[in-house]
Amino acid sequence: MILGKNISLRFVEIKDASFILDLRLKKGGMLSKTTPSLDLQIKWIENYKKREEQKEEYYFIIERNKEKIGTVRIYNIIDDTFCWGSWLIVENAPFYCSIESALLVYDFAFENLNFRNSKFDVDKKNKSVLKFHLNMGATIVDESEKVFYFEYSKFKYQEIRNKYLRYLK
């Protein structure tokens, strides 16, 4: 478990399948298509747990006061670089849950796992997430018709982290 000031991240378990499926169906419009099948979601988590054991992927439930409020995932790990996404948070969650969960992901990836870079993409229509990443200092390195491609270094995160410490302590 990764503990923050107000929230925590814990690894996804099979018992989270219904929560994840519901969240993806309600809020996953910017993510890859989700089939509305609990059995398929359970199977996906079973396969994910194998990737987690091999340290190929990390999928978290975001919790606040032991209540599930979201998901976030680290994946596509290549050498010292990771992608992150599947970042969904329930409606009406306090504003700090997004900021704090992102900081916990970066702390875990950069400090605990010693990655040096992050690469990720954001749908151009997802204005609030685009603004968030730009404010954190991520750099747009390419784009397609629908997506911006970002890079973010451990160095850049360490430079800006102090600006956001109030969300962690």
**Range of the structural domain that residue 10 is part of:** 2-167
Amino acid identity of residue 83, one-letter, is C
- pLDDT given at position 30: 60
pLDDT score of 166? 87
CATH (domain of 138)? 3.40.630.30
Tell me, what's the pLDDT at 28?
A: 65
**Which stretches of the chain drop beneath a pLDDT of 50?**
none
The reported pLDDT for the residue numbered 158 is 94
pLDDT in tens, 17-55: 999 999 999 886 666 677 789 999 999 999 999 999 999
- The tally of domains found in the chain comes to 1
Mapped to the 3 state alphabet, what secondary structure does the chain carry? CEECCCCEEEECCHHHHHHHHHHHHHHHHHCCCCCCCHHHHHHHHHHHHHHHHCCCCEEEEEEECCEEEEEEEEEEEECCEEEEEEEEECCCCCCHHHHHHHHHHHHHHHHHCCCCEEEEEEECCCHHHHHHHHHCCCEEEEECCCEEEEEEEHHHHHHHHHHHHHHCC
What pLDDT is attached to residue 154?
97
What pLDDT shows up at residue 36? 82
